[in-house]
Structure 1
Amino acid sequence: MPLPHPLPEPIVELIARRFRVIGEPMRIKILDRLRDGDATVAELTESLGTSQQNVSKHLGVLHEAGILSRRKQGTHTIYAIADESVLGLCEQVCGGLQRQFSDLAALVGGSLR
């Protein structure tokens, strides 16, 4: 279903909120790590090289936004990506950055000749 144009203010606010949630470097690192599969807080803490408190704070924000899911397994809480569209968005952004870098390299390389 296509989005209305111009976007109604409530939709603009929802989109901006989603970008604010994922626009934090540690949250992007968490999402990138979870592309490899589900993980516990301890596993994320170890692989990201940060504190458990820091990881838990960011996991809470991502879960609250509906981007991550969580489930209990014994004494552990396991997190997984619930909204796969976030990964697609990251891929699009990375693709755009690659094109920009390529264009910049062509400009810089061309000016050196």
Structure 2
Amino acid sequence: MERPTRQEVLRWHAEICAGLADPTRILILYELAEGPRTGTELARRLGLPQSTVARHLRVLASRGLVIPSRKGGVVEYLLADHRVLQALDLMRAVLIDRVHPYRHIAG
């Protein structure tokens, strides 16, 4: 298998970031960290219309961030890679430091 070019890696990176560029999609990823969920379960847990959740799940699946899996007549979604949550947690820490820049310095 050929090694991806720098441009391919940058494009993939941008696609993943675009998939993360919505607060609802981030919430969905954190919900899926607890285990596989159906769109209906996610809608109920997040208090959102099922159509909204379905739209966001399609975006996440198209970016390879979630994996749909058919179980009988129902589709369950699972997190494709838990390292995405580590990246989100790191970004959150950066943002918190931006709001509270001196919080980690002992007084």
Residue 7 of structure 2, aligned match among 6, 9, 15: 9
The structure whose RCO (Cα within 8 Å, separation 6+) is larger is 2
Give the equivalent residue in structure 2 for 1:96.
94
Moved over 6 A (4+): none
Q: TM-score, normalised by structure 1?
A: 0.77
Q: TM-score, normalised by structure 2?
A: 0.81
Residue 69 of structure 1, aligned match among 64, 67, 70: 67
Give the equivalent residue in structure 1 for 2:57.
59
What's the % identity of the aligned pairs? 27
For 1:50, what is the secondary structure of its paired residue? Answer: coil
Residue segments in structure 2 that go unaligned for 5+ positions in a row: none
Residue 44 of structure 1, aligned match among 42, 45, 48: 42
* Distance in 2 of aligned mates of 1:14 and 1:68: 15
Using the TM superposition, give the Cα deviation of residue 77 of structure 1 relative to its aligned residue in structure 2, in angstroms.
Answer: 0.9
Aligned pairs, number: 100
CA contact (8 A) 2:66 2:77 kept: yes
User: Aligned AA for 2:82?
Assistant: E
Residue segments in structure 1 that go unaligned for 5+ positions in a row: 1-6, 107-113
CA contact (8 A) 1:66 1:83 kept: no
Alpha-carbon spacing, 1:105–1:88, altered in 2? closer, same or farther (3 Å): closer
* Distance in 1 of aligned mates of 2:40 and 2:87: 27
Q: Which has the higher helix share?
A: 1
For 1:79, what is the secondary structure of its paired residue? Answer: strand
For 2:10, what is the secondary structure of its paired residue? Answer: helix
Residue 84 of structure 1, aligned match among 60, 78, 82: 82
Q: Which has the larger radius of gyration?
A: 1
* Distance in 2 of aligned mates of 1:73 and 1:8: 38
